[in-house]
Amino acid sequence: MARIPEETINRIRDAADILDVVSGYVQLKRRGRNWFGLCPFHQEKTPSFSINQQKQIFHCFGCGRGGNAITFVMELEKLEFVEAVQRLGERYGIPVELSGTTDPRRKATVQQVLDLCELAADSYRKNLQGSAGAGVRAYLEQRGITGSTQALFKIGYALPGWDHLLKAAGARKFSHEALNQSGLFIAGDKGPYDRFRSRIMFPITNIAGRVVAFGGRVFESDDPAKYVNSPETPVYRKGEVLYGLSLTRDHVRETETAIIVEGYLDLIQLYQAGIKNIVAVSGTALTERHARELRKLTGNVFLAYDGDDAGVRAAVRGGYTLLRGGLSPRVVNLPPDLDPDDWVRKEGPEPFLKAVADAGPLLEFHLSHFQGDLKETGDMRRFLDEILQELVQVPDPLVRELHLKKVADLTGVDERRLHETLQRIPRVRVRSEEDEAQPRKDRVIIEPTRSNKAQLALISLAFHEDDRLLNLLLDHAREELFTHPVLKNIWRVVVTALQQETIPEPGGIMDKLSSDDERQVLSQALMSEGLSADEAGQAGDVMPLAIDCLTLLHRDALQRQIDQRRQDLRRAEQQASQPPADIVAEVAALQRRLADLGEQFNKYRGG
């Protein structure tokens, strides 16, 4: 099994600041000592995902996930521990040398699929750069796409033929399961063959820049399909991934604006022209998941779809999708029969940027492009029906009311009549963000008993830089005091660090825990204000809190022993006329220890 030296893991953990890592995926805002944002692991309206930079951990108070920078990358990108460490090592310039096997057949299928996508991207890129790609290079240059832009977006070329990529994958000995699930091959009667042939290839990356899928544009082939896109795979969901976002995310965040276009070449041309706060849908319609991804970065979204009838219809549909996703979109008017790629290539970026600045609200765009005469009763009824069918699906009642008022202003129809009609339209039941925000069924729940609270508090206190406190914990926080199995497992790891005369480092402890449950509980213990360890430390009264917790747990432990020995005593009395003297003496000794419990902590009190 491949392993990474502990020293390398520690170097990467020290370099990979949790705030830096997470802010590449989530829009964060400071609130007190912590940073908050919308959780990337579940759908929510109110930010419950928190970062503590000092402790280098994250925790979501909605879904319960928690951990450090490494576990964040593992969960978000569906990577094994080794792959996540390698990814962070690449980002921070720290070489990662593995010991043991790196045979791809031993890797998880998801990781093999990712490796296959990288192999395909490299193969297509080499094809484009070779002699067979001369015609494609000429075509791209004719379209105004420079060589440096081609390299930046890793544009490639899938050769004619049926098994070029299949042979390359076979040489690397990937598993049949990975080949089948990668989306790069089609199962035929005579065996699998390459899905992409005679096509200009546009790699699609996830938010971390890892290739997860492809879009292929036909080139010098009689294939009637202009574009072929990867199917959904274990690493790619069309409704979640936005093309180009890994490159443009920082520009979206800096400008606080996102422009959505339809095509790969639209985005590439605009990016090359200096318009970099852009994303594109990849072979699918805009989804509410896309909207939620954008909402993590900005609330200002512009739709810049093609100027033909199909583009207008797609812009209207996409606009209402964004509205349901909690955004207030504006729609850019493009010249008829032009797409952003053509427009910017012919006239430069200035006219396009002006159109963005002049973009209007969704309802006004819908009204101005409606195919019908609104002076006719039938057409007006059809127009209102289109809008109301969309508005009834918007989950926010205030947004619905505001748009209903705007419809009344635009059409002159009485607002009360519109509201009555809206009320009669059945609303499709969809899984809401509130549903998604519920704790996962497999999430461990620590019941808030006095004992569990004390155990959690001691775990949290163990991370304080106070020698007297740490000595107290080493002397008296015995493992048997931790009665909850998850808390006991966490304490075993924590106390090992204490025994090495080091203050536990949260990120390092997270890596040593054996389950997600343990990481979630520890992250919540360290982040939760309710456990008050941080507050106690700031007030200078950490020791009393620790002593109170230890006293409670020792009292509970002694009482359990007394109860057990009393049961033993009753059983012995039933079998003999005289109670056993040794058990009687032991019960008495335990009772004296219980009465004198507070004295063992006297040396830790006061100064």
Who's near 581: CB < 8 A, 6+ residues apart? none
* Average pLDDT value over all residues in the chain: 86
Q: How far apart are CA 578 and CA 569, in angstroms?
A: 10
Residues 134-191 pLDDT 10s: 999 999 999 999 999 999 999 999 999 899 999 999 888 888 999 999 999 999 888 8
Residues 540-594 pLDDT 10s: 567 888 888 998 998 888 888 888 888 877 777 777 666 677 777 887 887 888 7
Order of strands across the sheet with 66-67? 29-31, 34-37, 49-52, 57-60, 66-67
Order of strands across the sheet with 211-218? 156-158, 199-205, 211-218, 227-229
| Poorest-pLDDT segment among 78-82, 114-118, 331-335, 460-464 | 78-82
Q: For residue 83, give both structure tokens.
A: 């792959």
pLDDT value for 168:
92
Q: How far apart are CA 321 and CA 288, in angstroms?
A: 6
Residue indicated by tokens 């805009």? 286
- Looking at the chain, the whole-number percentage of residues with pLDDT higher than 90 is 41
Who's near 194: CB < 8 A, 6+ residues apart? 158, 161, 162, 163, 164, 165, 166, 184, 185, 186
Rg of the chain in Å (alpha carbons): 31
Reported as a pLDDT band with limits 50, 70 and 90, residue 470 is: confident
**DSSP type of residue 99:** B
Residue 510 near residue 493 (C-beta atoms within 8 A): no
Render the burial of 125-156: b for 16+ CB within 10 Å, e for the rest. Answer: bebbbeeebeebbeebeeebbeeeebeebbbb
Residue 4 has pLDDT above 70, yes or no: yes
Residues 241-283 pLDDT 10s: 899 998 998 899 889 899 999 999 999 999 999 999 999 997 7
Who's near 52: CB < 8 A, 6+ residues apart? 18, 33, 34, 58, 59, 526, 527
Q: For residue 244, give both structure tokens.
A: 């180009």
Q: How far apart are the first and last CA of the chain?
A: 51
Residues 158-167 pLDDT 10s: 999 899 999 9
Residue 598 has pLDDT above 80, yes or no: no
Residues 501-530 pLDDT 10s: 677 888 888 888 888 888 888 988 888 643
Distance from CA of residue 300 to its chain's centroid?
Answer: 21
Task: Give strand pairing partners of 242.
Answer: 281
φ and ψ at residue 372, rounded to 5 degrees: 165, 170
Q: How far apart are CA 319 and CA 412, in angstroms?
A: 23
pLDDT value for 107:
56
pLDDT value for 100:
58
pLDDT value for 240:
83
Q: How far apart are CA 459 and CA 491, in angstroms?
A: 7
Q: How far apart are CA 241 and CA 229, in angstroms?
A: 13
φ and ψ at residue 418, rounded to 5 degrees: -65, -40
Closest C-alpha among 537, 457, 519 to residue 57: 519
Q: What's the Cα-to-Cα distance from 214 to each of 105, 151, 230, 403, rounded to whole Å?
A: 24, 15, 5, 38
Residue 106 has pLDDT above 50, yes or no: no
Give the dihedral of Cα atoms 418, 424, 429, 435; nearest 10 deg. 60
Q: How far apart are CA 144 and CA 416, in angstroms?
A: 53
φ and ψ at residue 357, rounded to 5 degrees: -60, -30
pLDDT value for 529:
44
Residue 436 has pLDDT above 80, yes or no: no
pLDDT value for 102:
47
pLDDT value for 111:
81
Q: How far apart are CA 268 and CA 143, in angstroms?
A: 11
Closest C-alpha among 524, 460, 533, 529 to residue 491: 460
At residue 188, the 3 state secondary structure works out as strand
Q: What's the Cα-to-Cα distance from 81 to each of 24, 504, 517, 524, 527, rounded to whole Å?
A: 19, 21, 16, 21, 23
Residues 7-66 pLDDT 10s: 888 888 877 889 889 988 888 888 888 899 999 988 888 899 999 888 889 999 888 889
Closest C-alpha among 395, 415, 260 to residue 330: 260
Q: What's the Cα-to-Cα distance from 431 to each of 154, 320, 393, 530, rounded to whole Å?
A: 37, 17, 12, 31
Enumerate long-range contacts of 89-97, CB under 8 Å, 24 or more apart.
89/8, 89/12, 91/16, 92/12, 92/15, 92/16, 94/8, 94/11, 94/12, 94/15, 95/8, 96/4, 96/8, 96/12, 97/4, 97/5, 97/8
Element (H, E) at 140: helix 134-142
Residue indicated by tokens 């042979």? 167
Residue 112 has pLDDT above 80, yes or no: yes
Residue 429 has pLDDT above 80, yes or no: no
* Burial class of residue 404, CB neighbours in 10 A (0-12, 13-18, 19+): buried
Residue 446 has pLDDT above 70, yes or no: yes
pLDDT value for 604:
74
pTM, two decimals, is 0.66
pLDDT value for 245:
92
Beta pairing, strands 29-31 & 34-37: antiparallel
Closest C-alpha among 317, 240, 239, 304 to residue 275: 304
- Looking at the chain, the whole-number percentage of residues with pLDDT higher than 70 is 91
Q: Residues 222-240: what's their mean pLDDT?
A: 89
| Poorest-pLDDT segment among 40-54, 216-230, 461-475, 562-576 | 562-576
Q: How far apart are CA 92 and CA 12, in angstroms?
A: 7
Residue 510 near residue 68 (C-beta atoms within 8 A): yes
pLDDT value for 39:
92
